[in-house]
A and B are shown apart, each in its own frame.
Chain A
C-alpha cells in the first residue's frame, strides 16, 4: 500500500470554529509532513514529525496545532483561523533522509 489518505476532501469553516484534518499512511514511514499550498504556488512546509515527535515547526501560527497519535496517523487541529488560511493542505510521508515523499490528495480548506 503506497497511499496516503486525507480526510475530509473539502472543509468550510468559520473563524470561530474548531476543526481537524486527518492524514493516514500504512507504509511504515517514519516521517510525516504537513504542507500548505496556495493557488499557483508550490507547497510550503508547515510541520515535520519524525518517529511521532514534532521535529520541525516552520514558525506556523498557534492556531494550527499538529498531533501525531501514532506512527500511521497525523492530525492538524484548526482553531480561530483567518480567511487567508484558506488553501490546500497536503500531508506527506517518507522514510526520511533522502527518500521521496508520498503525498495525499489534500484537503481544500475555505475559511469564511
Chain B
C-alpha cells in the first residue's frame, strides 16, 4: 500500500543544536516529495521540494533535505535551530501520474525548541 511515514511524532531540540526530521515513503516509483511547515493555527508553508536530480535539496529558512532512493527517504535537516523553528513539520508525497496534483501527507512531527 502507498504510504508516507514520519516516525517521530514529537522532537525536542535545544536552540542552536542541529535538527533532523525523518520521512519515508512507500510507492511503486519515485514520487514528488515536499516538506511543509505549519505554525499553530496557520496554513502550510513549503520549505522545499524534490522532483529529480541532485539528491541534496536546499530550501528556505536554512533547511535542506537529502533524498535517498535506496532507503525511500527524504530527511529534513537544519544545522542550527532557532526558537522560531518550533512548529509542525509535514512531509508530503505527490505522484507523477496523478493529474490533479493530489498530495498524501505524513502524520507530521511536532518540533519543540528549548532555550
Contacts and interface: CB of A to CB of B under 8 A. Distances in A.
Interface stretch (A11-19, A60-68, A74-82, A95-103): A95-103
B103 A101 contact: yes
Contact of A98 (B41, B96, B105): B96
B46 interface: yes
A83 interface: no
Given A106-B42, A108-B41, A96 B107 contact: no
A105 B44 CA distance: 7
A42 B32 contact: no
Interface in A45-92: 45, 48, 50, 55-56, 88, 90, 92
A107 B100 CA distance: 23
Contact of B49 (A90, A100, A104, A108): A100
B102 interface: yes
Nearest to A30: B101
A31 interface: yes
Contacts of A40: 108, 110
Nearest to A49: B100
Nearest to A102: B46
A94 interface: yes
B106 A103 contact: no
A31 B101 contact: yes
Given A105-B43, A106-B43, A98 B32 contact: yes
Interface of A: 4, 6, 31, 40-43, 45, 48, 50, 55-56, 88, 90, 92, 94-106, 108
